[in-house]
């Protein structure tokens, strides 16, 4: 569980993402995360590039965690990222979305 003093970490706006990225998420109805998603981002040194392994059912929100980690690392380090997806159709959708 997230401590009360870090409850703002549930809001996407708390993660230092550019305004255009936040607006895109907001237009899709994504304003905040589930507690488990924020916990994934706060565990260890995952935001500094350390490994993270997590498992959740289909449609639980795993992709949001991956997207936020990728976006933060790419924007902060100016390095490339590799996102592996299970189907070509999903890969094409994410390519357009992330562009």
Domain borders along the chain are 4-98
**Mean pLDDT calculated for residue range 40-67:** 88
How many residues belong to the chain?
99
pLDDT category at 26 given cuts 50, 70, 90 is: very high
Give yes or no for a contact between 11 and 38, defined as CB atoms under 8 angstroms apart.
no
pLDDT category at 83 given cuts 50, 70, 90 is: confident
Q: What's the gap between Cα 93 and its chain centre?
A: 16
pLDDT category at 86 given cuts 50, 70, 90 is: confident
pLDDT of amino acid 22: 93
Question: Rounded to whole angstroms, how far apart are CA atoms 99 and 42?
Answer: 26
Find residue 32's DSSP bridge partners. 11
Question: Rounded to whole angstroms, how far apart are CA atoms 76 and 99?
Answer: 17
**Mean pLDDT calculated for residue range 82-97:** 86
Q: Which CATH class is domain 4-98?
A: alpha beta
User: What is the DSSP-derived secondary structure letter of residue 86?
Assistant: S
Find residue 11's DSSP bridge partners. 32
pLDDT at 2 over 80: no
**Mean pLDDT calculated for residue range 19-31:** 92
What's this model's pTM, rounded to 2 decimal places? 0.82
pLDDT at 94 over 80: yes
Question: Which residues touch 98 (CB under 8 Å, ≥6 apart)?
Answer: 67, 70, 71, 83
Average pLDDT, the chain: 88
């Amino acid at each position: 569980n997230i401590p009360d003093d870090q409850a703002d970490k549930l809001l996407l706006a708390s993660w230092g993402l550019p305004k255009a990225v936040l607006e895109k998420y907001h237009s899709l109805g994504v304003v905040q995360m589930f507690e488990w998603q924020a916990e994934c981002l706060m565990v260890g040194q995952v935001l500094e590039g350390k490994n993270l392994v997590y498992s959740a059912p289909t449609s639980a929100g795993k992709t949001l965690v991956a997207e936020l980690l990728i976006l933060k690392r790419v924007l902060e380090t100016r390095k490339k990222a590799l996102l592996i997806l299970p189907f070509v159709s999903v890969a094409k959708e994410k390519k357009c979305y992330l562009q």
